[in-house]
Amino acid sequence: MLYSRKASDGSDRREALADHVRLVADLCEQNCRKFGVPSLGRLVGIVHDAGKSSEQWQRYLLNDEQSEMIPHAPTGAKLLWQTAQEFSDVSYERYAAEIAELLVWGHHSGLSDVIEPDGAASYEARLQEMPDSGQAEAIEQFQCQVIPENDIRKLLESSAEELQIIHTRFTEHCNADVYPENAKQDALLPEEKQKIKQRRAEKREFFKGLLARMVFSCLCDSDRYASACWENCLEAATYTTDPKLWGELAAKLEKRIDNFPDSPINTARRQISDECLESVKKMREPSGIYRLNVVTGGGKTLAVMRSALYLAQKFDKDHIFYVAPFTTIIDQTAQILRETFGRGDILLEHHSNLISHGKDENENEKQQREKEDQLDTFAERWDIPLILTSQVQFLEALFSGRGQCVRRMHQLCNSVLIFDEVQSVPVKCISMFNLAVNFLAGFCGCTVILCSATQPALEEIARPLRLS
């Protein structure tokens, strides 16, 4: 039997390789279903550890014959490359394989640069090298004992169909964009038309990159989570939030609002909050991009949270994210919400100043360490209903090369995303921010609310935000 790992507690407990890759494939498939590519998720999940099938790797695992890790990720990528050779160079099967190869190769080391700064394509050259004897042996053993070649081919064909559908949606979305130039005159000059055509093409390619990165997030998280569950003898499951929770939290927030003392400012804040709630009750689509424009001191934090809880309950969202530029805002908001909800187990603060809350003088060090470990786990995965985080952490989840950041990215799907003080998004990041938010709202089931007393004109720049 082929094994994936052995227990770190010194026992002889071992996990079968087939069991591990099938669990990772199940988890990855379910997470990728949220944005339309479940077969691609299953494909990368099932082949990611094919390299562990070699005799050398099995000896390394079981006998501790050498201290240095034997790279196993390239083998799965080469298996995919070989499988794809029977398809045309311009087929979606070949394209699906290219994405899967890149993700499998980097599931431990991170995504490789396909084209390096000097123009070299060393990744492609390494990928297309013939498998060495150990890799060839691993591929043969993997197909004999874990999953046959024909099943991998069928998954590749299903992945191709998914990508063709979602790329058609990308094209339709990008072609429907209205750019600032369109509003200036009826008859655009040829060079202006070409500029708009180029922007649409760039946006489509940007979406393709985000899609690949989203699948990578699912693979990285599924692999690490499945491994942790086996190590700790826990049952693995994809994240879901109990729909009843949103109603429970909404009721507590209503109680807090009702108990505010009567005053002119509280009356005005309640009116603003009521108008917000009435607006979201009119929403019929489970995703979109909206604005909340409220003057400073108008109570927009509780107003937007009240609306977000309603949307989460109505559209069965997995998370609510509150994203703010400054840790002081996050700390203050987190304190208000803890007091309101009376629960710390459903809320995570995640920013550079993250510290554990609620330490009592009589709490021993072991309990405190366990609490900090739990906070670290939530921060790694964002698998908690309500996440309060910084702009930096949000942007890193989308764009950072670090595995611990990209691992969280897929949790943004099917969520309500609140951006407080959105005018503070750094100027150099605005185009990337707009395109990412358009992607999340357009293809990942997100409802986005931009909060500010001074709303930036994000729809008026060269790469505009698509407001609902």
- Which regions in the chain score pLDDT beneath 50? 355-362, 368-369, 371-372
Query: Distance between CA 379 and CA 337 in Å, rounded?
Result: 18
In tens, the pLDDT along 294-312 reads: 988 889 899 999 999 999 9
Task: Give the pLDDT score at 380.
Answer: 80
Query: Distance between CA 345 and CA 348 in Å, rounded?
Result: 8
Q: Which residue has the tokens 């393709």?
A: 208
Pick the closest to residue 333 from 389, 290, 289 (CA basis).
389
348 close to 379: Cβ distance less than 8 angstroms: yes
* Interacting residues of 280 by C-beta distance below 8 A, sequence separation 6+: 307, 310, 311
Query: What one-character-per-residue DSSP string does 239-285 give?
Result: ----HHHHHHHHHHHHHHHHTSPP-HHHHHHHHHHHHHHHHHHT--S
Query: Distance between CA 333 and CA 330 in Å, rounded?
Result: 5
Query: Distance between CA 291 and CA 422 in Å, rounded?
Result: 10
DSSP structure class, residue 317: -
387 close to 322: Cβ distance less than 8 angstroms: yes
In tens, the pLDDT along 100-109 reads: 999 999 999 8
DSSP structure class, residue 128: T
Q: Which residue has the tokens 């000896």?
A: 59
Task: Give the pLDDT score at 138.
Answer: 95
Using DSSP's 3-state secondary structure scheme, residue 418 falls into: strand
User: In sequence order, which ranges of 315-364 are alpha helices (DSSP H)?
Assistant: 327-341
